[in-house]
Amino acid sequence: MNQRTVHAVLCFSLLFCVPSLSHADNHWQFQNNKHYRTLSSAENMSAEQERIEVVEVFAYSCNHCFNFETYLDQFEKSKADYIDFKKMPVVFNDAYKTHARIYYTAESLGNLDVMHRKIFKAMHLDRKSLIDENEIYQLFAEQGISKQQFLSRFRSFTVESKVKRAQRLTSKYKIRSTPTMVINGKYTANGPAVKTFEDMLAVVKELAEREFLSQ
């Protein structure tokens, strides 16, 4: 079974709609274990006082994550000022670890904004697996990164530390599929009643607001 087939099992499609719910009359609309799940213990990736952290846990090999990017662009433009939006590559096994390493290498080199989309495009439009190190480097070379720069970051202590943290949080957040949105390290917006990307982001916004008002 190849990497794409494995992830096709892990990624489940969000196909069915639920009614669009809004916050009205001071009554929260979404319910635990129906629209979201509460984690047994809370942990942010990096807590900032009086800010609410929202993390997208994604995989480059996940077609749903690729399609979710457009929705996330709109979310970032319209999100409340108190939300800190971040991304974290999921780490299920060694292949995912390699892809996480690509993400954190781009972050370390300061060209993540460009590389993030190029990596998705390479996998889903150009059909590259991005497991071979030379193939990975070619993406960075297109952005003017030298082989020495790439190698100095790809397996650096900083990158490896972030990959290990992502692997630990993948387990702690009980990630079973991607994309998954984690709110303030406490909730995942992937209850059984959440069937579309729009539903997921509506739950995210409400839970973020709850967290902010409870501070």
Question: For residue 12, is pLDDT > 50?
Answer: no
pLDDT category of residue 7 using cuts at 50, 70 and 90: low
Q: Which of 25, 23, 40 is nearest to 210 (CA)?
A: 23
**Mean pLDDT score across all residues of the chain:** 90
Q: Tell me: the pLDDT tens digits for 60-73?
A: 999 999 999 999 99
The topology (CATH level 3) of 31-213 is Glutaredoxin (3.40.30)
Q: Which of 130, 111, 131 is nearest to 121 (CA)?
A: 130
Question: Can you give the pTM of this predicted structure?
Answer: 0.86
d(CA 15, CA 188): 18
d(CA 203, CA 15): 16
Residue recorded with tokens 């399609």: 67
Domain residue spans of the chain: 31-213
d(CA 198, CA 200): 5
Residue recorded with tokens 């957040």: 173
pLDDT category of residue 45 using cuts at 50, 70 and 90: confident
pLDDT of residue 103: 98
Q: Tell me: the pLDDT tens digits for 128-164?
A: 999 999 999 999 999 999 999 999 999 999 999 999 9
Alpha helices in 79-124 (DSSP H): 94-109, 112-124
pLDDT of residue 9: 44
Question: For residue 22, is pLDDT > 70?
Answer: no
